[in-house]
Amino acid sequence: MLAGVLLVWGFWLIGQGLWIPVKALTAQWLLRQAWGQTLKTQQPAKPWPWSDTWPVGRLLVPRHGIDQIILADASGRSLAFGPGYLSGNARPDESRRIILSGHRDTHFQFLQYLQKDNLIYVEWPDGRRTSYTVQELTVIDRRHTRLARNEDADELILVTCFPFDAIVAGGPLRYVVRAETLLAVSTSLILTDKGREIGEGENRER
């Protein structure tokens, strides 16, 4: 009897331990399904019926193996599943300045490894991809410094908490990556050659 109880208890503990990673993997699969639907229809598609967010883009950094779905907002609930759009009311593919936020210990952990001149790509619902090159990597104190509001700047801003190894999250420091727009390219242009991004085909200005 005791052995049976312990066996059931053990399976329950294993189930609890596996639930979080299984949930995370399922959510990512659903997000990618929703993004695939968005690319087909160019209309917002919720990943699950009760979701209060949806995919608005796709973030790619080939040098660091990053391929993430961008969500429509940067609420705490949304950031649990991916980076979120912070730039205001306009759709990100209609704004010249894109600001994305993500958690330092999950989706935006890779920011600490970015270097100047690294390439970043953002894919839009119409299938177009805009390429950016990293220009600045800085740390700001949000109590004293705010991101400049320049909606006409052709740039991508990635923001996360800092330091990356802080024991307690939510401090005043932010790590900010600023990348400038290069051009928009067709979906066939994202290739890598021994860690170096290369492109083939016709480029067109955004």
> Which of these, 62, 36, 68, lies nearest to 191 by C-alpha position?
62
d(CA 4, CA 183): 64
**Residue, of 144 and 67, whose pLDDT is higher:** 67
Distance CA 140, CA 180 (A): 19
pLDDT of 148: 67
Label residue 53 by pLDDT band (50, 70, 90).
very high
Please report which residue ranges of 42-151 form alpha helices under DSSP H: 76-79
Tell me the residue range of the domain where 10 lies: 2-204
Cα–Cα distance measured from residue 61 to residue 71, given in angstroms and rounded to the nearest whole number? 17
Confidence of residue 64 (pLDDT cuts 50, 70, 90): very high
Question: What's the pLDDT band for 151 if we cut at 50, 70, 90?
Answer: low
Distance of alpha carbon 191 from alpha carbon 117, whole angstroms: 17
Give the side-chain half-sphere CA count within 13 A for 136. 11
pTM: 0.78
Q: Cα(18)–Cα(105) distance, rounded to whole angstroms? A: 20
In tens, the pLDDT along 73-128 reads 999 889 999 999 986 656 777 778 899 999 999 999 999 999 999 999 999 999 99
| E runs forming strands in the chain | 55-61, 66-71, 84-85, 97-101, 119-123, 129-141, 155-161, 173-185, 191-193, 196-198, 203-204
> What percentage of the chain carries pLDDT values higher than 70?
72
Check whether 48 has a pLDDT greater than 80.
Answer: yes
CATH number at residue 181: 2.40.260.10
* CA 65 – CA 120 distance, rounded (Å): 11
Residue 196 pLDDT class (50, 70, 90 cuts): very low
Structure tokens at 65: 């193996």
Of 134, 129, 133, nearest to 112 (Cα)? 134
Structure confidence at residue 204 as a pLDDT band (50, 70, 90): very low
Number of domains into which the chain is organized: 1
pLDDT band at 23 (very low <50, low <70, confident <90, very high): low
Residue type present at position 202: E
pLDDT score for 14:
46
**pLDDT tops 70 at residue 2:** no
Contact between 84 and 74 (Cβ < 8 Å): yes
